[in-house]
Amino acid sequence: MGIDRLLEELRNEWPVIKQAPLVFFGTLAIMAAAIWGAIYFFYKANLDRKSDLIATLQGELATRQPQSSPRDEVAAMNAPNLRILLQGGNIFVPDQKPTWTGIALDAIIINTGRPSVALDWGMSIIPPTGTPVRAQLSDLPKSLVARGPAGNSYLSDAESLAQSTLTDPLQTNVPRSGKLLFYVVLPKKTVLDSVFEVTVTDASGRSFMARQNVRDWLQR
């Protein structure tokens, strides 16, 4: 019905259109442009409002800090928390490897979190110049005499802190002492002027570290 009515109106107005075709088609073009402009303005305004809303929501999300659940907070508080205290030690030259240096450390470890074993011990020697050198952890033998600047140390496998903390979990707030034996391919004189970094890893894979300047020990 609508199309038929439009065609009927065009037939009725055709004589007028024939007399002034430019005016008719110009008016038609202006009306089409006005309709298209109104549609474009409506959709653009609607799109701009949505863009502003998205930008506002993104800004709010960016400023919000992720909140941990009470369960996560309790787990963090109860996680193993190991602290190492290096009390001293003996730095010596092994009889069978005169180019190496042995380091027998007296250490205490305490766990203020939930019980855990110590899976791995490590040590880096930081000399006065040059790059740090990784020392090698060694099992304590049945009997070993370490002759160093602090006198002779008599070591045995029963004192191994590495073995003790691996087989017997560290209980909460119960200190445990023992000895750690390392070897490093550095001159003894260099080791005596170095800084020790001793690390330990708990059962969950977290690492803890203690630092000690050897010269501070020698000045006691």
> Which pTM value belongs to this model?
0.63
* 139: in domain: yes
Considering only residues 153 and 85, tell me which one the structure prediction assigns the higher pLDDT. Answer: 85
* 74: in domain: no
Same domain flag for 97 and 56: no
Same domain flag for 86 and 18: no
Range of the domain at 13: 2-63
Q: How many structural domains does the chain have?
A: 2
Same domain flag for 49 and 86: no
Task: Answer for the pair 156, 144: CB distance below 8 angstroms, yes or no.
Answer: yes
What pLDDT band is residue 220 in, cutting at 50, 70 and 90?
Answer: very low
Same domain flag for 37 and 114: no
Using one digit for the tens of pLDDT, what is the confidence trace for 65-90? 555 555 544 445 578 999 999 998 88
Q: How many CA atoms lie less than 13 Å away from 83 in the CB half-sphere? A: 9
* 71: in domain: no
Considering only residues 3 and 216, tell me which one the structure prediction assigns the higher pLDDT. Answer: 216
Give the angle subtended at the CA of 191 by the CAs of 188 and 192, to the nearest 5°. Answer: 90
Same domain flag for 54 and 86: no
CA-based torsion, 151, 157, 163, 165: positive or negative? negative
* 203: in domain: yes
